[in-house]
Structure 1
């Protein structure tokens, strides 16, 4: 029995459970549209056995349901998240924070030294004033010597001492003023040092404590990765540059604006931008078929009054999908190694919480372009420069609410930028062309068939659009105009244009017409549109 006990004692036994308190900070962040996933990754050397890893510095607002933990080098057991009644934690300042605090202390010591030197100068001034007061007292004494020679000596002494005292007083005041000249710089240095510390240390927020139970089969390094959602967002912004000449092109200089209100600073994190929106719709909409009935007019009138009061309530109580006449068309979502597109920045980044948007320069894409002019005479007095290009990259161009527009390196304005799928075409405007002047005039408009009952059922109109090129360059021009259209059989609309339109119902928009013209320098082009509209007697056109 004793032999067995000794043999068991000789076997390697697992180490007793140890608790490791680990400080952590964000190391990687993936930012989505309106959402971010923050990751903290730390490594701890442990012995074989069961251990507890404690992370005492997580944000208090973390929810257990959205917390994700991965452990490499050990088997993860249980996780426990604690947000109240936490034990006190020792200070664990980073080197940057320590340096900022030391700078504050240095600036405050310099200001204190200045105040001491001012006080020294003040003491000298006080001594000089005391000497002057003493000398004035001597001059008023009644028991002064009667001998003229003695009085002269006393007067000479008082004069000399008074001069020396006043000189000392003036010198001390000058010294105090000279010393105080540095006060403003020292006060500013203290404010700057406090500002630097504030940028490194967000306001103290309540913390949460996370405890992980892990079992290591052998001694080694255990890496824990903790991920949780945070309040952040990003959006693309562009510089859209048109280069004219023999090889016309559109260059898209891309950047990202990142906003973070997570309650903690992101210092030297690996940042990834994703086009996905985890907070958006993830389920398809429900459809509710509409029940249709028909009945004669008299029955419908009888039911009308009885049901009028309840229709509103029924519609309000019905599912929202029943009230949508047109369902929105989802935007195409390209795939690049998974849903959406991700951009990982090559270098780490630091973004303070609640700071202004951080702008991250990304890359530039260039596309061959066709430059032309677009004219809308009914609305504008000049044509506008346009460029048409094809997205030949392998990724979609994301929509941007802000895009700065450049022509040959000169900024001409700002606009938005619509999303473009990979391989899709896009058209971008680049401002007015002052050399292409537009006019729109209604030459004739009349209503006929007016009788004794003042009715009218015919409208005739003639419109003239004029394009004038006062420059020295020939322009390809797309002229846009609209004419009325009808969905009623008895409303007859006839339109005739001279010259005839190149395209009708442009982009499947009924009544929209387009002329493709080439307008030479110093040339003028007119387009005449005749419209004839007729409708049944006794009705009003609207």
Structure 2
């Protein structure tokens, strides 16, 4: 059933009095996360009689923005005045969920068990202490009685006394030993109870966010007929974010392919857990600039050099008389312009994309970054080796693929794999639907590159110069030791000129495939096919000539 969306503006109800006050709990039902912001929709389920009522919803996050608060109700329900309080909160009934209450009850039960265990251990220790006192009494009694018996020459009395004291002491020591063993067993059992209590406390802490004062929502409502109603409360909450991450798995060989395992990383620090929610991810950026910046035309003026000189002399005299800063502000300027305000610039453009995650998820407050898998995309790929011998000693594996998914591939961190081997991290840029993309997939240590100048060992040897000519000879080699054939795109650079009098001539064997690719001046490219175990060599010469009387820079 569609619910009309009602703003937090005051909407007068038909009658001034309310029939009843009701308190409802707001449970997070769905979340749409943008970069840095989230729209959180909570549901308040109310069983109401017909009439007009005032509803109180406690336990909302602290610091909610009233500008983004929206309420939606089903047909037959009219929302009236809405108020969001952050302090001087009203007293509300306990809205503890059954799961949290069960966890609290278990913690309380185990605390009682631990207290009873401590009492039992203390009682056992009393028996140990009583036995120790009995032994001490027997020892003092035997010493006093033995002295009297010796005085009376009663050997039999001494013997009887010794037997009695020994027997009673043995009994007392046995009782103390047994009590000590019982106490030790009780302490070991207490350790199990203490561990169970700690586990229960952690389970309770995992269910609840740290308690804060929070906010309380109150609103008036008019119900045409009695029944159960669901009110949607939508809020805009900050400190939420999401970003895509990728595993890019390239497979080379006769039919190269590229698999993209897509996932998202989500975090939020709203102050509350979002448990069992529907999750929508959006690329829209509601916190950024939404309209184009203004432009301001600079005012330009011209003045004669004589007038400019007079103004300079006047300013110098004024500076000496009254200080430079104030009078410089008063002095006329030869050329003026309106200052342009500093405006933020959006760093993302294009239509927004939303992703609805299948199933419901738990996103805890401020605890961890939640990683959720999305899907795997399989794309055809073209793979070759690229070589820059002037900069690198080995070639690098490069793959080109077309985004044939009919949707944007969003920017994100990518973990790169080539033929099952992890090779490192990269950044996937925004790739539009149908667009081509090239990415590097690590070094090919078996394709060895070398670029040298013949006979060059130091200084300018190998570089021949005259008054108006400079010539360089280079030899470039590509050796394939990988065990498989490779197409190699080799790239090198030579000087270029933008002056007619400075001429640059280049000769190469084999011939250059492309010159100045994509408008990059002075860049040369060769398309080579290098079989396994083979080496290809390129000879490259360039000559610069210019008229006499000029210096090459």
Fold conserved (TM > 0.5)?
A: yes
- Aligned twin of 1:110: 113
TM-score (normalised: structure 2): 0.83
Paired residues of 2:246 and 2:262 also in contact (CA < 8 A): yes
Alignment of 1:389-408 (within 5 A): 389-400=401-412, 402-408=413-419
TM-score (normalised: structure 1): 0.84
- For the pair 1:66 / 2:71, whether they are aligned, the reply is no
- Relative distance call for 1:475 and 1:272 in structure 2 (3 A) is same
Shift of 1:290: 5.6
| Structure 2 alignment gaps of length 5 or more | 1-14, 317-327
- Aligned twin of 2:383: 371
- Aligned twin of 1:124: 127
- For the pair 1:340 / 2:352, whether they are aligned, the reply is yes
Q: Which moved more, 1:283-292 or 1:410-419?
A: 283-292
Q: Deviations over 1:329-382 (max 9, x none)?
A: 97662xxxxx41111112111111101100001111100111211222222222
Shift of 1:97: 1.0
- For the pair 1:198 / 2:209, whether they are aligned, the reply is no
Paired residues of 2:298 and 2:338 also in contact (CA < 8 A): no
- Aligned twin of 1:5: none
Q: Which moved more, 1:429-438 or 1:227-236?
A: 429-438
Shift of 1:490: 5.2
Q: Which moved more, 1:282-291 or 1:158-167?
A: 282-291
Residues in 2 aligned to 1:302 and 1:253: alpha-carbon distance in whole angstroms: 72
Shift of 1:26: 1.5
Paired residues of 2:249 and 2:418 also in contact (CA < 8 A): yes
- Relative distance call for 1:478 and 1:52 in structure 2 (3 A) is same
Equivalent residue for 1:86, pick from 86, 89, 93 = 89
- Aligned twin of 1:55: 57
- Aligned twin of 1:211: 218
Q: Which moved more, 1:55-64 or 1:347-356?
A: 55-64
- For the pair 1:238 / 2:259, whether they are aligned, the reply is no
Paired residues of 1:15 and 1:47 also in contact (CA < 8 A): no
Q: Which moved more, 1:422-431 or 1:136-145?
A: 136-145
- Aligned twin of 2:283: 275
- For the pair 1:513 / 2:549, whether they are aligned, the reply is no
Residues in 1 aligned to 2:36 and 2:417: alpha-carbon distance in whole angstroms: 30
Equivalent residue for 1:418, pick from 429, 435, 446 = 429
- Aligned twin of 2:43: 41
- Relative distance call for 1:498 and 1:122 in structure 2 (3 A) is same
- Aligned twin of 2:232: 225
Equivalent residue for 2:265, pick from 237, 252, 257 = 257
Equivalent residue for 2:148, pick from 133, 143, 147 = 143
Paired residues of 1:391 and 1:421 also in contact (CA < 8 A): yes
Paired residues of 2:475 and 2:540 also in contact (CA < 8 A): yes
- Relative distance call for 1:377 and 1:171 in structure 2 (3 A) is farther
Q: Could you say what secondary structure the match of 2:289 adopts? A: coil
Paired residues of 1:14 and 1:48 also in contact (CA < 8 A): no
Q: Could you say what secondary structure the match of 2:366 adopts? A: coil
Paired residues of 1:438 and 1:465 also in contact (CA < 8 A): yes
- For the pair 1:438 / 2:445, whether they are aligned, the reply is no
Q: What root-mean-square deviation, in Å, do the aligned CA atoms of Structure 1 and Structure 2 show?
A: 3.4
Residues in 1 aligned to 2:420 and 2:453: alpha-carbon distance in whole angstroms: 40
Shift of 1:524: 0.8
Q: Deviations over 1:66-94 (max 9, x none)?
A: 21222223122322222221112232211
Shift of 1:14: 12
Residues in 2 aligned to 1:175 and 1:442: alpha-carbon distance in whole angstroms: 91
- Aligned twin of 2:474: 463
- Relative distance call for 1:114 and 1:20 in structure 2 (3 A) is closer
- Aligned twin of 2:440: 429
Paired residues of 2:132 and 2:176 also in contact (CA < 8 A): yes
Q: Could you say what secondary structure the match of 2:407 adopts? A: coil
Residues in 2 aligned to 1:126 and 1:43: alpha-carbon distance in whole angstroms: 61
Q: Which moved more, 1:441-450 or 1:265-274?
A: 441-450
Residues in 1 aligned to 2:499 and 2:243: alpha-carbon distance in whole angstroms: 46
- Relative distance call for 1:459 and 1:248 in structure 2 (3 A) is same
Paired residues of 2:296 and 2:340 also in contact (CA < 8 A): no
Residues in 1 aligned to 2:111 and 2:32: alpha-carbon distance in whole angstroms: 41
- Aligned twin of 2:165: 158
Paired residues of 1:497 and 1:530 also in contact (CA < 8 A): yes
Residues in 2 aligned to 1:282 and 1:535: alpha-carbon distance in whole angstroms: 55
Number of residues paired by the alignment? 511
| Structure 1 alignment gaps of length 5 or more | 1-12, 334-338, 451-456
Residues in 2 aligned to 1:211 and 1:433: alpha-carbon distance in whole angstroms: 66
Q: Deviations over 1:449-474 (max 9, x none)?
A: 56xxxxxx654333333211113210
Paired residues of 1:503 and 1:513 also in contact (CA < 8 A): yes
Residues in 1 aligned to 2:517 and 2:300: alpha-carbon distance in whole angstroms: 35
